[in-house]
């Protein structure tokens, strides 16, 4: 873990060394902080979107299940986590549940103790709820005949879902998912309120040193850059999905 941390620091020191002279003075003075924060935001985003996509897919499948209990549970998942503000979710888990302390939380304590872990979990759950809805919409656009045809070929429902319905649903839902990923990136700034030093957390610390409004401009540029990277990544996947 510490090796990984050192690697991240080395990356930001390297980036800042290379960017010296070409970046504005106000940015260069705090460059490693911005890049440290940028890497934390990137890391949270990659992990939560990957985990969220897996959980969201399961929830979407549960939403079109034949079992009523499963359908209801999946509906409730989406309803609760889409229907409440991300900030409230973060605070309930971090300050609310977390304040029970190590005695009551037992083996769960290492999770609740870490702002980073709570942030990652809440972002994951939150985005999974949106992804589930997006995917359900994608499945809904497919003609029912496809499932019937797959079943009459002898496929099980699960296999039909995996091989026939989901791949198509992903293709339909992908542009909407791109939108959700950008929203997730922006929402991730809220983890700075639970002590995570993401890009927003670092920016606020830098801002506190001189109250220069430039500070937030640099941060906005970095977020926009991240959005650009994400959009490029999404495009690449979209192209592959089309060929498939």
Binding site for another protein (CB under 8 A): 9, 32-33, 36, 95, 98-102, 113, 115, 193, 195, 197, 201, 204-205, 207-211, 213
Minimum CB distance to another protein, residue 113 (Å): 5
For 119, the token pair is 């942030």
Pair 219, 198: CB distance under 8 Å? no
Q: Which is nearer to another protein, 209 or 235 (CB)?
A: 209
**Closest CB to another protein among residues 100, 159:** 100
Number of C-alpha atoms within 13 angstroms, CB side, residue 222?
26
User: Based on CB atoms, which residue is closest to another protein, 104 or 162?
Assistant: 104
Report DSSP state, residue 213.
T
CB of 23 to another protein, least distance (A): 18
As measured in angstroms, the least distance from the Cβ of 193 to another protein is: 6
| Secondary structure (DSSP) of 29-54 | TTHHHHHHHHHHHHHHHHHHHHHHHH
Tokens 């091989």 belong to which residue? 163
Residue 19 or 149 with smaller CB distance to another protein: 19
Q: How far is the CB of 33 from another protein (least distance, A)?
A: 7
Phi and psi of 114, rounded to 5°?
-95, 120
């Amino acid at each position: 873990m510490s090796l990984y941390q050192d690697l991240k620091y080395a990356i930001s020191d390297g980036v800042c060394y290379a960017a010296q002279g070409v970046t504005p003075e106000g940015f260069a003075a705090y460059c490693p902080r911005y890049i440290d924060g940028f890497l934390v935001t990137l890391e949270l985003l990659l992990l939560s979107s990957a985990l969220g996509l897996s959980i969201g897919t399961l929830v979407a499948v549960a939403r079109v299940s034949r079992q009523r209990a499963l359908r209801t549970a999946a509906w409730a998942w989406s309803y609760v986590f889409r229907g409440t503000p991300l900030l409230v979710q973060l605070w309930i888990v971090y300050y609310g549940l977390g304040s029970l302390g190590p005695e009551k939380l037992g083996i769960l304590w290492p999770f609740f103790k870490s702002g980073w872990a709570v942030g990652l979990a809440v972002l994951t759950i939150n985005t999974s709820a949106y992804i589930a809805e997006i995917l359900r919409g994608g499945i809904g656009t497919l003609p029912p005949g496809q499932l019937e045809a797959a079943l009459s070929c002898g496929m099980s429902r699960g296999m039909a879902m995996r091989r026939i319905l989901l791949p198509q649903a992903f293709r339909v839902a992908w542009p909407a998912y791109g939108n959700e990923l950008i929203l997730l990136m922006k929402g991730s700034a809220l983890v700075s309120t639970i002590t995570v030093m993401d890009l927003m957390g670092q920016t606020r610390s830098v801002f506190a040193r001189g109250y220069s409004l430039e500070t937030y401009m640099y941060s906005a540029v970095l977020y926009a850059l991240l959005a650009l990277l994400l959009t490029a990544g999404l495009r690449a996947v979209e192209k592959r999905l089309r060929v498939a």
